[in-house]
Amino acid sequence: DMQDYPNGTIHSRVLHVECLPEFDVVLKDIVVMPGQAFELAFTGGPTKNERTYFDYVSSAPDVVSIDNEVGLVLALKPGEADLSVRLLERPSGREIARKGAHVTVRVPTAASIGAVESLTGASKEETSPALLRELEDPLRLRARIWSGDLELTPLLLALAASKVSPLTSNLKGKNLLTTALDMGETIVEATEAASQTALQLATSSGLSGSDAANAAAAHGVSCRFIWTTDPSVSLTSGIGALAVELRANASSPEQLEISLVAECPLGRGYESLQLEAKTVLPVLPMLKLLVPTGPCSAYPRILVPLHGRVPLSFSMPRSQLKVEILGGAAVQLIETAEMVEVEAGLTEGEASLKVEVLASLYSPPMEISVSSRKVFAARMDSVPSRLPLSASAVCPLFLVDATGQILTLPSNFQVEASSSLTSVVTAEAETFAGGAALHLRAVGEGCTLLSFVVRLPDSRQLPSDIAEVCVVQGALVGHGPLLVQPGARLNLDAEEFASTRGFSSGRPPIAFSLRLLELPSSCRTLEEAASSLAKDLSETLAEGLAKRGGRSRALPIEVTATAARYAIRQAENVFVEVEVDLQVSASDLGEAAGESGELGLFDLAEVLWQENVSRSETLQLLDRSWGVHGAAKASSLSDQRCEGCCVPSSRCRSCCHQAPRVCGKSGSIAGWSSTHPRSVAVEAVGASPHAIAQAPGVATLHYCDGIVSADIQVIVSRPGELLPEPPQGGPTEALRARNLLSNQVSSQLAVSFRSFREGGTQTEDELRSGPFVAQNIRLVCEPMEVAMGDFFSFEAVGETCILKPRDPRDPRANMSAQPSAQSAPLQIGLAASLQGSTSRGHPVEWQFIPQFVVVKANEALAPSQVCATLTTSSPSAEVPVWTGGHHIEADLDGQIKSRRRGNLTLEVQPSHLPVTSLRIQWNDPVDWGSPEEVNLRLSSPATGQVEVYRLRIEPSSQVPCAPEAGGWSLLEILALAAAMAVLLWLVLRLCTRTAAPQDQLGAAFQGVGAGPILSGDPFAGPHAVSPFNALG
């Protein structure tokens, strides 16, 4: 009892109460089409747990059915039904909350297009939207499906069209749907069967609740939306294609028609209900501030110098705009009927301008922030370091305050420009609405200093920049019209147009790329090849520039390699080459040549192409058909120049929109464009721009990036006449001095041809290739005499015919097949033809003397082989030598070791055929134990060819050999002693006789001729002379 415990405390049980958001149905008034399935979604209420569950009831199950487990709703036929949802407690069944939704099932009858405002449905009346050009935010439209005056719920249409279901790929449900339709069931019945099957499969797969309902709803009826409009408008599909986003550009028409086709499957089979809708939207210009262009942002900002007056220019006429100051007294407006100006006062401050479009419901108003600042200095931007001769540049001028912020150059400030050497660069200052620029024109080679002056209204002069510009010979610019043939390639990336933003320390080097046909044999890696090429280039350029400048001593030049990589060249075959990026100081090149200024890539390539590179393996491997390319890093124009307000605001200076103002709006590739693309087209090969000659005609290649401008005139003409250059390579110096040529296997002959356009043979008519121009002339080289094909292979490499001597043992060299009938031509002649033209060929005025060949069994023998074998049974042999009818000499180097075994004699058989036969005789042959060999030396006094072959001497039968080769037997010793005794007796007798008449024995021997062919001691080796000596 509490009265007994007046100070006591009583504790009750703790009761946990969960406060939940109000339970409700998301969509309460739903309009769907027959066959459409969806899940009844809720907000609030308890999270999914075992203490609560839902109970679903449909007032008209034959119109709208609802699954009591997961809340899957399926529209069966036109009509209406109320859905009731109760939230119950488990296990008592106590009702916690009750909500409901009204569902109307209708067949669609019409479609329309409206703005995306809400996906839950809206009235049929709404204002027509408009599309603004170049607006970053898109206009969003959606399809609206109607049944009479009721709109089908767009959210359910979008979800059905997008198929957002975890089991959309349920093949069993899809197959069941297809089977039901093929059996003639209605689309609603087929959908119901497929949805129920998908629901069972989802439940058995472990899905429950919303996931299971979505899996089944994915098989319900869904509409397909097809949108079409003008190609100039960007159209992006939104949710399930029910909604789209539109963006118009500057070329979009003023009236835009948009079409919609909605295909909804209703009825039996695969029939669809097709609804169409169209709408026309006005396309209006977007209000933009054109002048001045300040830092790029959604809200323009203008920085005006004190005492400055800046005119404002908009994308719409002044008469359609209303401009007013919202706040701040730092500036004032000066308005006229045609323009509006902002004038800054004497003190710094801030202000805001509001610009509205009169009589327009679509264009939003523009707010402009205006700040007046004290000017600190005048600057110039994007000044080219080097300019090609005849090129021009437009460098923006701007003002800065003490913090470095860019100020607009007012129209009441005066600007003047100057150049220290007007013979190199002329400079003029140009002021325009919202800014100023420095116009430069390269008129002569050299370097000059540029400066400019900005004067304030009170005649004060601002500090300004000074920049150095050097003018060099352009790779292609400034050399007059270029004459090329169809298929020629011009390396446009070789031009030096790079400019510096701001002022960096030092002068930029010349960056270029070269290619090697293959990795040099002395190099194992790309790095070694690049280093070797840079070293050889340094030496070659130093020597070549010293000769050009008349210097007795070459100054050192350092060429450095910056990168190396493998490159693929596709011609008739695929070749893997080595491409190397290099750089060298332009001032070092000028100093080495004795010039006061800098040299450019043209001067470097000219020296490299004219110097003798035979001492360098890497330079001999240069791919001259690829030429010289610039190696500047590839980047878009928006990164190189302040072309428009697409660059970061920190770099967006007064040059914004400078490129469209200077270059126009024509499309270009890396700044290059062609006036006649059908004659000369500009193409991008990787990151490099190239010009490709297409067809005969005249075109101008124009470069413009908003700063530098240059032109190249190109004349495309078909090739006509071919004239040969003096042959290179081929014979040795001795033969060259005698104007002779022979098919020496170790040497090849190169004959280059000069190509001229049709109807011309003068210097100005020549189609020339060089470091920056590849004419891509393809020759077809053939011999003027068919017999020359037996001595040389003819190959065309670019503009050169290569004659490679064939090895006599080559099966294609047919001189050994019929030696008696094969004669050698007396002269070399070429027949060269090219695409679009045919030439008769031009003989090379060199007498041809072929290399002799020893033939055996109709096969050519290689030197050091056995050309004949002599035996005691066959002591003679003939060796045929194909000479082509020219004189040769033959000698035997030695004899048989033992004179008692006989000796060898050599005789040349006279013949008028191109084959000379050598007859070799073994006199007094004797059998012995082992074979021997003797060398046969053949030589041609005309060509200097010397070859050595082997003669083999073999006995027919083997006999025992003496212990020592060449030893004396007992019988031979006795015979020799008897002969010595007789000789001694004769000498004594002669000495004892008185003087006798002259001995007639010698005279008798003198009368015996030694023969017209053999000469010398027969035991010391005969010397044979060709009978062609007697023929001259």
Q: What is the mean pLDDT of residues 789-805?
A: 81
The tens digit of pLDDT for each residue in 914-963 reads 888 889 998 888 887 788 899 999 998 888 888 999 989 887 654 444 44
Q: 725: which 2 tokens? A: 């250059």
More confident residue, 973 or 978: 978
Residue 657's pLDDT is 45
CB 910 within 8 A of CB 889: no
Q: Give yes or no for residue 710 having a pLDDT over 80.
A: yes
- Residue 852 DSSP code: P
The tens digit of pLDDT for each residue in 328-337 reads 778 899 888 8
More confident residue, 248 or 1: 248
Q: What is the mean pLDDT of residues 152-164?
A: 67
More confident residue, 367 or 743: 367
The tens digit of pLDDT for each residue in 266-313 reads 644 445 678 899 998 888 888 888 888 644 445 688 889 999 999 988
Q: Give yes or no for residue 1028 having a pLDDT over 50.
A: no
Element (H, E) at 979: helix 970-992
Q: 46: which 2 tokens? A: 């308890």
The tens digit of pLDDT for each residue in 104-127 reads 998 888 999 887 765 444 444 455
Q: What is the mean pLDDT of residues 701-729?
A: 86
- Residue 133 DSSP code: B
How far is 270 from 22, CA to CA, in rounded Å?
44
Residue 617's pLDDT is 84
- Reported as a pLDDT band with limits 50, 70 and 90, residue 1029 is very low
Q: Give yes or no for residue 490 having a pLDDT over 50.
A: yes
Q: Give yes or no for residue 820 having a pLDDT over 50.
A: no
Residue 776's pLDDT is 85
- Reported as a pLDDT band with limits 50, 70 and 90, residue 491 is very high
Burial grade of 118 (CB within 10 A; 0-12, 13-18, 19 or more): exposed
Q: What is the mean pLDDT of residues 467-488?
A: 92
How far is 351 from 740, CA to CA, in rounded Å?
92
DSSP characters for 719-737? EEEEEEPPPEE-S-HHHHH
Nearest to 866 by CA among 797, 799, 931: 931
- Reported as a pLDDT band with limits 50, 70 and 90, residue 92 is confident
- What predicted TM-score, i.e. pTM, was given to this entire model? 0.61
- Reported as a pLDDT band with limits 50, 70 and 90, residue 31 is very high
Torsion sign, CA atoms 905, 908, 909, 910: negative
Quick check: helix, strand or coil at residue 891? strand
The tens digit of pLDDT for each residue in 38-68 reads 877 778 777 667 778 888 899 999 899 888 8
Lowest mean pLDDT among 185-194, 242-251, 958-967: 958-967
Report angle CA 562, 568, 570 to the nearest 5 degrees: 140
- Reported as a pLDDT band with limits 50, 70 and 90, residue 663 is low
How far is 144 from 164, CA to CA, in rounded Å?
20
Q: What is the mean pLDDT of residues 371-386?
A: 90
Residue 1011's pLDDT is 33
The tens digit of pLDDT for each residue in 573-591 reads 667 899 999 999 999 999 9
Q: What is the mean pLDDT of residues 398-414?
A: 89
Nearest to 618 by CA among 547, 773, 514: 514
- Reported as a pLDDT band with limits 50, 70 and 90, residue 654 is very low
More confident residue, 980 or 171: 980
Burial state string for 70-97 with b = 16 or more CB within 10 A and e = fewer than 16: bbbbbbbeeeebebebbbbeeeeeeeeb
Instruction: Return the bridge partners of 868, or none.
Output: 951
Q: Give yes or no for residue 767 having a pLDDT over 60.
A: yes
Residue 476's pLDDT is 93
Residue 704's pLDDT is 86
- Reported as a pLDDT band with limits 50, 70 and 90, residue 731 is confident
Neighbours of 699 (CB within 10 A): 23
- Reported as a pLDDT band with limits 50, 70 and 90, residue 724 is confident
How far is 600 from 474, CA to CA, in rounded Å?
7
How far is 185 from 306, CA to CA, in rounded Å?
83
Residue position matching structure tokens 């200093």: 449
Q: Give yes or no for residue 571 having a pLDDT over 80.
A: no
Whole-number mean pLDDT of the chain? 78
Lowest mean pLDDT among 188-197, 237-246, 679-688, 998-1007: 998-1007
Residue 425's pLDDT is 95
- Reported as a pLDDT band with limits 50, 70 and 90, residue 167 is very low
Q: Give yes or no for residue 864 having a pLDDT over 70.
A: yes
Q: Give yes or no for residue 649 having a pLDDT over 60.
A: no
Residue 477's pLDDT is 93
More confident residue, 949 or 1024: 949
Lowest mean pLDDT among 95-99, 387-391, 929-933: 929-933
Residue 609 CB contacts under 8 Å (≥ 6 apart), including other chains: 624, 770, 771
φ/ψ of 159, rounded to 5, equals -65, -40
How far is 922 from 945, CA to CA, in rounded Å?
27
How far is 325 from 269, CA to CA, in rounded Å?
68
CB 337 within 8 A of CB 318: yes
Q: 466: which 2 tokens? A: 């000074």
Q: Give yes or no for residue 713 having a pLDDT over 90.
A: yes
Lowest mean pLDDT among 152-166, 506-520, 629-643, 712-726: 629-643
Nearest to 426 by CA among 363, 471, 381: 471
Nearest to 540 by CA among 611, 606, 487, 594: 611
- Reported as a pLDDT band with limits 50, 70 and 90, residue 853 is confident
DSSP characters for 1008-1027? S---SS--S-TTS--EEE-G
Q: Give yes or no for residue 376 having a pLDDT over 60.
A: yes
Q: What is the mean pLDDT of residues 835-855?
A: 69
Nearest to 35 by CA among 268, 197, 192: 192
Instruction: Return the bridge partners of 740, or none.
Output: 847
Residue 714's pLDDT is 95
